[in-house]
A = this chain, B = another copy of it.
Amino acid sequence: MTTLPPGFRELPVTEDFLAVNGPLYARRDGNQLALGFRVEQRHCNPAQSCHGGMLMTFADMQLAIGANFAGDLKRFLPTVSLTSDFLAPAPLGSWVEGRAEIARQARTLVFAHALISADGNPVVRANGIFQIRGEPDPRFDIRALFA
């Protein structure tokens, strides 16, 4: 069990890929949902920092779940496009954390971005576009989980 910053608790897993690589943790900060995880050896690249694949997985979840929370969308939001700029390494043992900002929520698309940090230092700048489709599904009612 990793040590968590105050107020964070485990995000329930609905994805097999995150059952393998998670857990991720979340904390409600007003109208935003902060997400975080601690970099373990199993997340690392040969340089002993977090693999880009894990950071992009985190960015994808941060933006999709953050958009779901901010807009109370209650849906699984398929990713249309995600861009990640790798500003600096996230070292083994560091706490990685981010908050999604919503640039625009349209009828069928939501545009979100986040600056992700490791122990307070910016490590990834992410921009994502996600699809809004189908009916609300109680499995993805993230506001009910972090009321």
Contacts and interface: CB of A to CB of B under 8 A. Distances in A.
Given A46-B14, A57-B56, A82 B83 contact: yes
Copies of this chain, complex-wide, total 2
Contacts of A42: 16-17, 19-20
A115 to B, nearest CB: 15
Contacts of A18: 51, 53
Contacts of A16: 41-45, 51
A86 B78 contact: yes
Contact of A17 (B19, B51, B60): B51
A52 interface: yes
7 contacts: A17-B43, A18-B53, A21-B21, A46-B139, A79-B84, A79-B86, A82-B84
